[in-house]
Amino acid sequence: MEIVLGMVLVVSIMILCALIVNGYFLYRNSKNTMFLDSQRSDKESQLVDLYNLLEHAMDEFDKYISDVKAEIQKDKDEISKLKDEILVKFGAALAEGEKPKEDEGVWAEENTSEAVENKPVSANINKAKDLKEIKIKTLHKQGKSIPDIAKELDIGQGEVSLILNFDKNNKKSEER
C-alpha cells in the first residue's frame, strides 16, 4: 500500500508541477497579450488621429478648390466685361472702317462697369443691341457668311441679314 501511496504522491507531484508550469505559461501569455492589446490600442488611436487629420486636410483642400473656382469665375466675368467694353469701344470704329483714336483708352472712366450698372435698363439694352450689331458687322468684315455668323452668335439668319442690309442701306443713303 505504501507503494501505491508513493505512486499517488509522485503522480500528484507531477500533476502539480505540470499545473504550475502551465500556469506560468498562461501568465506569460496573458502578459504578452496585454502588451499586444496596449500596442494595438495605441496604433488604433494613431490611425484615428491620422484619419481625422486627413479629413481636415481634405476639407481645407475642398474649400481652397471652391475658392479658386470662384476666383476663376470672377476673372472670367471680368474678362468678359472687358471684352464687351473693347468691342463697344473699338468695334464701332472697325465696323465703320475708321481707326480708333490713340488717346482713347478702354479704361476710361465712362466705360467702367459701375457706369454701365448705374445707367437705366433701357440704356443697357440699347448697348446690348449695339454690341450685337457690332459683332455681326465685325464678323461679316472678317469674311464670315451669314449662316456662320448666325450660328456663332446663336441668333437667326434673318436677323443677321436684316442688320447687314440695314447697314448697307444706311451707307448708301449717307453717300447721296
- Per-residue pLDDT tens for 42-61? 889 999 999 999 999 999 99
> Are 134 and 88 in contact, with CB atoms under 8 Å apart?
yes
- Of the candidates 146, 141, 126, 143, the one whose C-alpha atom is nearest the C-alpha of residue 171 is 141
Q: What is the pLDDT, as a whole number, of residue 32?
A: 79
102, burial (CB in 10 Å: exposed 0-12, middle 13-18, buried 19+): exposed
Please indicate whether residue 122 or residue 50 has the higher confidence score (pLDDT): 50
Characterise 131 by phi-psi region: left (phi > 0), alpha (psi -120 to 50), beta (else): alpha
* Confidence label for 121 from pLDDT (cuts 50, 70 and 90): very low
The pLDDT tens digits for 69-116 are 999 999 999 998 888 777 777 665 555 555 444 444 443 444 444 444
Domain ranges of the chain: 52-175
Q: What is the pLDDT, as a whole number, of residue 92?
A: 55
Please indicate whether residue 104 or residue 171 has the higher confidence score (pLDDT): 171
Distances (CA, A) of 166 to 136, 137, 139, 161: 12, 11, 16, 8
